[in-house]
Amino acid sequence: MSVNVEKRTDPPGESDYATAAWELKERIRSAEGVLRQRRGFFVDAYRRSTAHLLVENDRLVAFASVRRDGYILFLAVHPDHRGRGHAERLIADVAANHRSVTCHARTTNRRALGFYEHLGFEVIRRIDDYYEDGGDAYYLKLGGESLRERLSGFVGR
């Protein structure tokens, strides 16, 4: 049986997948201790952003919520679907639509930091007490036009 992962989008103001995105985020938070936003904050930010979605058999497997300026608010991939290039594909979609791609990541989230570094994100600065729980963050920015072109190859997958 072939697996068909379909790309969909929830533009600003739409929230067809907001509940599924919240549930995926909460599953990851519970298991890994990251993505610790409160529901009200998450839903409000999701509705104001563009959500790039990857759906398999009408089930959300990955998403990235992005502001108009290319700032990634949330990036999540279902644990059972990691290692398939979904996060790279989402970042490529963002890079194809924005001049600048930025995000924050917890200084303690080695998995996320390794992923972003692999794609060519650079640490711009450290921000102490960035998160509501007092956690520190790095502000990251995707660098280099050649990398942007390389990432755009994921869009066609």
- pLDDT at site 153: 54
With cut-offs at 50, 70 and 90, classify the pLDDT of residue 148.
low
3-state secondary structure of 108: coil
Give the pLDDT confidence of 99-119 residue by residue, as tens digits: 999 999 999 999 999 999 999
What tokens appear for 123 in the block?
A: 């640490």
Q: Strand pairing of 59-66 and 50-56?
A: antiparallel
Q: Residue 2: which pLDDT band, with cuts at 50, 70 and 90?
A: very low
pLDDT in tens, 73-88: 999 999 999 999 999 9
- Given the structure tokens 């103001």, which residue do they identify? 13
Q: What's the chain's average pLDDT? A: 88
Q: Per CATH, the architecture of 5-155 is what?
A: 3-Layer(aba) Sandwich (3.40)
Residues 119, 91: contact at Cβ < 8 Å?
yes
Distance between CA 70 and CA 51 in Å, rounded? 12
Ordered by start, the domain boundaries in the chain are 5-155
Could you tell me how many residues make up the chain? 157
Q: Whole-prediction pTM value?
A: 0.87
The confidence score (pLDDT) of residue 156 equals 52
